[in-house]
Structure 1
Amino acid sequence: MTQRHWIMIATLGSAALMLGALGFQYLGGFHPCKLCYWQRYPHVIAVVIGAIALWMPNRLLIILGAASAAVTGVFGVYHAGVEWKWWQGPTTCTSSDITGMNTDALFDQIMSAPLTRCDDIVWQLAGLSMAGWNAVISFVLVACWLMALRRP
């Protein structure tokens, strides 16, 4: 296989994982937690890098693509560890801008917001949660990026 094929596989892999995550969220009703979002950003970056690398391949872009896939894989391992109670996850959460809101509107916003804890496993297959599968597949994508690096 050529370098272009490996870049395409890695790029489409990250795109598929993003589409899967969005499908679980918007079609399946599985609301993401903070760590779920952390795992998404590197995939988006890998897709952008992959699109550019398909157009004008160079070693730096391929290395950045591999790094993006590795980062989301590490986040996946961290999140899976939090889910399995191997270590503690983040104790903070984020909220939207509340400037100018009265107390009733703020209370309504808080009460209607979906709550998903980082240490809850909301879906799993073959003993791995979504975070675990993200880690496994992301490390496979790292290997695809590295195969692209080895090809002329």
Structure 2
Amino acid sequence: MTNALRPFLDRWRLVALLASAAMLATAHAFETFGGLAPCTLCLRQREVYWTALGLALGFMIAVRLPGGPRWREATCWILGLVFLVGAGVAIYHAGAEWKFWAGPSTCASTGAGVSAASLDALLKGAEIKPPSCDKAAWVFLGLSMAGWNAVVSLVLAGLSALAALRERSKP
């Protein structure tokens, strides 16, 4: 392990909290400033980061309580598992975008935007279809947001494992 990673691994719960907050902020920025409405799978990916954020905060408190230090390694493994789940959801989403498999039925739609006419139709009892999960709304260097999320989630899972192993080696 390189010396450059040690400060991050020694404070992994805080780093996981900040990374989760950054991923959530990025997703919300794309929605707010980019006008990209989240599909069902996009929202599922966010749920993983909200879970990681909440767990990391709780773990930061728990390991400082009497008897808490014995749980330091386990907290890193749990965060790693949460990030692996996030990678799985992101890979599933990216695969649906690439048409490797079908996305959930709640994602099959035209992805129509909100207009005055659609709001009027909603008030008259029409159903609004969510954005489609099988169309990438944004692509950078050949990867969609779901693809990049899979990469980030896998990196965070790997760093969680390294942090857990580092905790194990401490006295």
Q: Does 1:13 align with 2:19?
A: yes
If you compute each CA radius of gyration, which structure gives the higher value, 1 or 2? 2
| Sequence identity (%) | 35
- For 1:76, the equivalent position in structure 2 comes to 90
- In structure 1, what is the equivalent of residue 43 of structure 2? 37
1:121 correspondence with 2:136? yes
Aligned partner (choices 124, 128, 139) of residue 105 of structure 1: 124
Supply the distance in 2 between the matched residues of 1:39 and 1:71 (Cα, whole angstroms). Answer: 9
Aligned length: 139
Secondary structure of 1:85's match?
coil
Query: 2:80–2:160: 8 Å Cα contact kept in structure 1?
Result: yes
In the alignment, is residue 143 of structure 1 matched against residue 158 of structure 2? Answer: yes
Structure number with the bigger relative contact order (C-alpha 8 A, sep ≥ 6) is 1
The alignment's C-alpha RMSD in Å is 1.9
TM-score using structure 2 length: 0.74
Contact 2:84 2:157 in 1 (8 A): yes
Task: Say if 1:66 and 1:145, in contact at 8 Å, map to a contact too.
Answer: yes
Alignment gaps of 5+ in structure 1: 94-102
1:91 aligns with 2:110: no
Q: Is the 8 A contact 1:11 1:51 kept in 2?
A: yes
- Output the CA distance in 1 between the equivalents of 2:146 and 2:50: 16
Compared CA separation, residues 104 and 44, structure 1 to 2 (3 A): closer
CA deviations 1:99-136 (Å, max 9, x no partner) are xxxx85313xx3xx474100011001100000000000
Gaps of 5+ in 2: 1-5, 64-70, 108-121
Is 1:61 paired with 2:80?
no
